[in-house]
Structure 1
Amino acid sequence: MRHENQMSQLSICIAEKLATLPSTPYKPYLFKINDALRRENSEAYEPEIVAIGPYHRGKVKLQMMEEHKLFYLQELLKRRNELSVDMYVIAMQELEQKARKG
């Protein structure tokens, strides 16, 4: 019973936090680190496990996670009974345009 009460309180707490979020999501954009800042501490801006976005695509040390990304995409498609990624590619292209304008 105590566990259920804690879970209920947690659910309420999360729901309250979700209710305070703005109704429109943040404007999408891609960050590019200023060269002077990168030179100051280049290691701070290099991904160690996973890269999100185009800047580090193709780096050997990140390839294992790229395979995981593809695996999870495949699982998403299976779960949604979808055969193609076309819809997602179109959506990402639209977001990319907005991000580049940002």
Structure 2
Amino acid sequence: MGGHRWAAVRIPDDAFVIAPNRFNITDFDFESATTLASPDLKDWIDQHDLNPADDGYNLRQICGSRTYRDMRYNNPRAWYVQKLFGVKTGADPT
């Protein structure tokens, strides 16, 4: 997030996350037992009107990016690591 704010989502024991140099948390529920965040994160987002959504918090939209660079740089890296873990990934994204 930058500064001293952070967020985390518990990953199930039978799962893994691949996050190549980008922010991947989308639907974030501040009240969920499976999420944690810095105590002031929600208030900071609301106070600075950073949330473009009418309902819910998509932290990737709020504090991350979704650019051409993600598509050309990060997505192929995620595809490759998924392939290494045996996930059926489909066609090469490059």
Relative to the length of structure 2, the TM-score reads 0.29
Question: Which structure has the greater CA radius of gyration?
Answer: 1
Q: Which has the higher helix share?
A: 1
Q: Which has the higher strand share?
A: 2
Q: Which structure has more RCO (C-alpha within 8 Å, separation ≥ 6)?
A: 1
